Amino acid sequence: MKQTLLIALFWLTLSSAKAQNWGGGIDQQDFNWGFTFQYIASEYKIIRSPNWREVFLDYENNNRPITDPLNSISSPLSTGFGIGFVINKKINKNFDLRTTPTLVFDDRLVNYEYQQPAVYNTEFSSIQQKIAATMVEFPLSLKLKSERRKDFRAYVLVGAKYSMDLASGKKTDDANKDLINKVLKNRKNYASYEAGIGFDLYFEYFKMSPEIKISHSFTDVLKHENHPYATPIEKAILRNFTFSLFFE
């Protein structure tokens, strides 16, 4: 009798150790939804104009020099965050089609370093432009999943997204400012391509997925105006590095 109980206890323990979490039954659903939190790092890939180093002149004021010659233009990484939803459609056991509408708050930076010692303008040697962005993003991705191993599944994804800047032009009205006080501005709409990797981790009633994704705008994302900060830049391609947590 004791041997039978010991064998039964051992079998229950072994079975429990090998049991998979249910994950809320998500693998049996053709359609599911959830929510996401995102940490975002952004930078511009800056393509400079052919004459980007030259002194900026005010043609409406007797060609008065506004800045000194430029030594460099750069875009350091800046951080932001996003919150959104995930809507997932199962195609088969290894492919999903999903969209993750997201509201993103992000500030992008561009640094300008000027010639020293200054010749025309002695007030500054460097300026940092901060471009505030409040984005609504609509990604559409194809998710390729590995076979599930107990409570773990790896995946890769590729896709594209459409972005709309809600803050474009609203908080950057500089029409009445001097040229030296003008600001860089985002285009209101643009599209990007993206790719990422992640892991599905199954719990009793839900699935959590940490994910790393890189996106790259198809085209230039800056408005080009006649002032000292926009003129030296021929194109600015936006690159985002996103870490997300999905709960489904």
Whether 8 is covered by a domain: the verdict is: no
Give a yes or no: residue 28 inside a domain.
yes
Q: Facing residues of 192 across strands?
A: 161, 217
What is the rounded distance in angstroms from the CA atom of residue 104 to the CA atom of residue 42?
12
* Domain span at 90: 23-247
Residue 1 lies in a domain: no
Phi (first) and psi of residue 24, to 5 degrees: 70, 10
Written as one string, the DSSP assignment of 152-175 is: EEEEEEEEEEEEEETTTTTS---T
The alpha carbons of the chain give a radius of gyration, in whole angstroms, of 26
For 90, the token pair is 């199962």
Identify the residue with better confidence: 212 or 120: 212
The average confidence (pLDDT) of the chain is 86
- What is the pLDDT, as a whole number, of residue 179? 80
Higher pLDDT, 20 or 138: 138
Q: How confident is the model at residue 6 (pLDDT cuts 50, 70, 90)?
A: very low
CATH number of the structural domain spanning residue 191:
2.40.160.20
Q: Is residue 12 part of a domain?
A: no
Residue-wise pLDDT tens digits, 134-191: 999 999 999 999 998 888 999 999 999 999 998 765 656 677 778 888 889 889 999 9
pLDDT reported for residue 182: 85
pTM above 0.85, yes or no: no
Determine, yes or no, domain membership for 6: no
**Residue 17 included in any domain:** no
Task: Give the number of domains in the chain.
Answer: 1
Residue 13 belongs to a domain: no
| Residue 5 is assigned to a structural domain of this protein | no
Banded model confidence at residue 23, pLDDT cuts 50, 70, 90 = low
Q: What pLDDT is attached to residue 20?
A: 66
Is 240 a residue whose pLDDT tops 60?
yes
- Residue 15, pLDDT above cutoff 70: no
